[in-house]
Amino acid sequence: MTQQTDTEALISKAGLVTANGTSTPYRSGHPIDTVPGIDLPLHEREVLNKLMQELVGSMNWLSTQTRPDITTITPILTQYNHSCSPGHINSAKYAICYFIDSTGMGIKFSSKADHDLESFVKFPIDPSQLTLLTNANWGSQDQSVPNSNDPPILLHLFKSCSIAGYIIWLSGPLDWCSKRQIYTARSSAEAKIGAVDECTKTLQQIINVLKDLHLLDKFIDGPITIYNDNSACVQWSHNCNK
Domain boundaries defined on the chain = 4-97, 115-240
Q: How far apart are CA 131 and CA 150, in angstroms?
A: 45
Q: How far apart are CA 202 and CA 206, in angstroms?
A: 6
Q: What is the end-to-end Cα distance of the chain in Å, rounded?
A: 43
| Nearest by Cα to 92 from 135, 66, 62, 65 | 62
> Does 234 score more than 80 pLDDT?
yes
**pTM for this entry:** 0.87
pLDDT in tens, 172-230: 999 999 999 998 899 999 999 999 999 999 999 999 999 999 998 888 888 889 999 88
Question: Please, what is the average pLDDT of the chain?
Answer: 91
- Residues facing 179 on adjacent strands: 164
Architecture of domain 115-240: 2-Layer Sandwich (3.30)
Identify the pLDDT of residue 30. Answer: 84
**What percent of the chain shows pLDDT beyond 90?**
64
What are the counts of helices (DSSP H) followed by strands (DSSP E) for the chain? 8, 4
Q: How far apart are CA 210 and CA 234, in angstroms?
A: 27
pLDDT in tens, 33-77: 888 888 889 999 999 999 999 999 999 999 999 999 999 999 999
| Nearest by Cα to 91 from 151, 27, 42 | 27
Non-local CB neighbours of 154 within 8 Å, separated by 6+ positions? none
pLDDT in tens, 68-81: 999 999 999 999 99
> Does 148 score more than 90 pLDDT?
no
| Nearest by Cα to 107 from 172, 24, 176, 177 | 172
Asked if 77 and 180 count as a contact pair (C-beta separation under 8 A), the reply is no
- Residues facing 133 on adjacent strands: 167, 227
> What is the distance of C-alpha 227 from the center of its chain?
17
pLDDT in tens, 78-131: 999 998 999 999 999 999 999 999 999 999 999 998 898 899 888 999 888 899
Instruction: With cut-offs at 50, 70 and 90, classify the pLDDT of residue 145.
Output: confident
